[in-house]
Amino acid sequence: MRKQTSGWKWAIAMLLLAVGGWFVYRSMQPQLRVDAAMVDRGPMEAWIDEDGKTRLQDRYIVSAPLAGNLVRIQLREGDVVEAGKTNLATIHPAAPGLLDVRQRRQAEARRTAAALAVDQSRSRTTAVRESLELAGKTLERQEYLKERDSTAQQDVDIAEAEFQSLKAQMSVATIAEAIAKFELEQAEAALLHVESDEPLPTQGQVAEGEGVQGEDFHIVAPIDGRVLRVLQESQAVVQPGDALLEIGDPRRLEIEIDVLSPDAVKIRANDPVRITGWGGEQPLHGRVRLVEPGATTKISSLGVEEQRVNVVVDMDEPPEERETLGDAFRVDARIIYWQSSDVLRVPSSALLRLSDGWAVYRIEGGRALRTPIQVGHRNPRWTEVLEGLSPGQQVIEYPSDKINSGVLVLPKPTS
């Protein structure tokens, strides 16, 4: 009996010795110095960075409404034109062919098409105007509720973005209607020339600059803007539809951003956009107006086929703050497709890829513990944490292959 008791004591002593030795061994392990960061709550954004290019919202190709002799165009690229006042081109109509039924029918068809375009543009303007009035009332209501703390600031921002977007659409629709009316007037005037049987000045008179106040057909500017290109500078015989020059308003710029199709599905109308790299000291701002419904196939610099989608952005800043920005200028654009003022976040540099998800090395009791987590939105700096971590916990940034669960670690002091 005494031998059995001493045997148990010996076994317990050996067990305690082994446990103590294990703790001594573990305590003698070297501590790995690591970069550590806190899990916290704060604002976060998710975005898409791409190159963009400016373009005019409204380009207008002025074409000849009737056949005749074009007097040499005196305008040059960059010249300012005023709607309804600036004479863009002068055409001395060819002698009407009284028996030419085809020419008359063509002029009638152009007038009919122009009249339909006016009706269509007028309907579009009316629809946008009604939507704009409704958006204005919605914005006023949201601002009223915000003053009384009955709604969130996010609802006010959404209403403001919708109002500004419709305001820009209204401006575009108004110009489109004005251009349609101008084309109808040109088509009706051209039809009158075709149907007229009054004698016209000879070609020699036009070449000498005579007769320009008589039967000459003057094309005036349909919009305020500048001459972009003179397509037919010299005197020439023109036919209906021949392009003469291109005009537009450089103050009315939009941005075209070419994004990958998987990124395009994340983007919605009214998403905010930051524009940098345009040459100015301060970034510009805008909002997505349209994500085009179709993609095009393009070859990347590495020779890989990609499906790209155009995203059109309206700029917020007035033209006076970006006077030097012109048509087809390159810019850097950041489309913010998601943002929140309060999320649980962890540095993206702390993430480890697992076969079925993501993990981080959490520091607890001076040791690294691999912790699986569920993530949400990401950007190069932060990652949204949905499950697995709590605010105030420390994680290891840039974990090396020396880090494993249970390894002693020592966070480096923060500077």
Q: Mean pLDDT per segment of 10 residues, for the chain of length 415 residues?
A: 59 70 58 90 95 89 83 91 89 62 72 81 85 87 82 79 78 76 72 54 36 63 88 87 89 93 93 93 92 90 90 91 89 95 94 90 92 94 95 93 88 68
| Closest to 265 measured CA to CA, from 236, 304, 291 | 291
Assigned architecture for domain 26-42+342-411: Beta Barrel (2.40)
Name the pTM for this structure.
0.67
Q: Which two tokens stand for residue 351?
A: 């993430």
The C-alpha atoms of residue 127 and residue 125 are separated, in whole angstroms, by 6
| pLDDT number for residue 211 | 34
Contact between residue 240 and residue 102 where contact means Cβ atoms under 8 Å apart? no
| pLDDT number for residue 75 | 92
What's the fold here for domain 64-248?
Helix Hairpins (1.10.287)
Q: Which residues does 86 contact at the CB level (< 8 Å), separation at least 6? A: 80, 220, 221
Q: Which two tokens stand for residue 19?
A: 């446990």
Q: Would you say the C-alpha torsion 156, 159, 165, 170 has a positive or negative sign?
A: negative
- 225-230 sheet: strands from edge to edge: 59-63, 243-248, 225-230, 80-81
| pLDDT number for residue 385 | 96
Per DSSP, the three-state class of 402 is: coil
| pLDDT number for residue 258 | 93
List the CATH code of the domain at 46-55+251-341. 2.40.30.170
Question: Which residues, in sequence order, are bridge partners of residue 41?
Answer: 344
| DSSP-assigned states of every residue in 68-134 | EEEPPP---TT-EE-TTTSEEEEEEEPPP-TT-HHHHHHHHHHHHHHHHHHHHHHHHHHHHHHHHHH
Domain boundaries, the chain: 26-42+342-411, 46-55+251-341, 64-248
| pLDDT number for residue 23 | 59
